[in-house]
Amino acid sequence: MLPPYSSLLLFLMGTVALLLTPGPAVLYIVGRTVGQGRPAGLVSALGIFVGTLIHVAAATLGLSALLLSSAHAFRAVQLLGAAYLVFLGIRTLSQKDEGDTEAAAESDGLSRVFGQGVLVNILNPKTALFFLAFLPQFVDASRGHVTPQVLFLGCLFAVMGLCSDSCWVLAASKVSARMSRSVRWRRAQKRVSGGTLIALGMAAAFSGSRPK
């Protein structure tokens, strides 16, 4: 059973507003696109999408609530995700210069880029907070069938997020493609991509512990 149309409309409006505000996932995807090209960016967006679906399943089953009930578990996941982002950033900065961005993407392997995108979103506690704080506001318990409502809204958000992330990839790839022949620009790409990942990791590590 779907949520009421009025709630669904408000949910769509709120989701669009949230997606228009760049967050860690967008910065990660843009960093991959700038550093490794459009294919890597699109694969990263797909990985983020799958990670979101995993959060949808967790929220539907109540696992996110269990995680947030423990401050130590929440902080452990937060620090693990931050450490992984910093690791990816250092790894990017330490790579040797390639002839072009596509060669760099191939050397890393698109399957690995996809897996990294999934992990980045799975290890992001803020995504779990979104499903616990924002999504439940649009579920009408009086109508029954709460689980299908949560599942529907979560999948809708994931699909809208994939569309939004893909647009960011296309925009970033157009800008980087114009300057891809410049050696100086390729080095800057690597620094931007690696620096963005490290900055995201540091921000996640010092963003605080479990919210009240």
State the Cα–Cα distance between residues 60 and 158, nearest whole angstrom.
14
Q: What is the pTM of this model?
A: 0.71
Using CA atoms, how far residue 162 sits from 47, 59, 90, 91, 159, in Å, is 9, 19, 27, 26, 5
Q: Give pLDDT, residue 64.
A: 61
DSSP 127-144: HHHHHHHTGGGG--GGGS
E-assigned strands of the chain?
none
Give me the tens of pLDDT residue by residue for the chain, a chain 212 residues long: 676 777 788 888 878 877 776 667 787 898 888 878 889 999 999 999 999 999 999 888 875 666 656 767 667 766 776 787 788 778 777 866 544 444 444 445 788 889 988 988 887 766 776 777 777 777 776 776 778 888 898 999 999 999 999 999 998 888 776 655 555 656 666 677 677 768 767 766 675 544 44
Classify 3 as helix, strand or coil: coil
Q: Give pLDDT, residue 118.
A: 92
* Domain locations in the chain as residue ranges: 24-205
Q: Give pLDDT, residue 155.
A: 93
Q: Give pLDDT, residue 184.
A: 65
Q: Give pLDDT, residue 180.
A: 54
Directed axis angle between helix 101-108 and helix 38-61, to 10°? 40
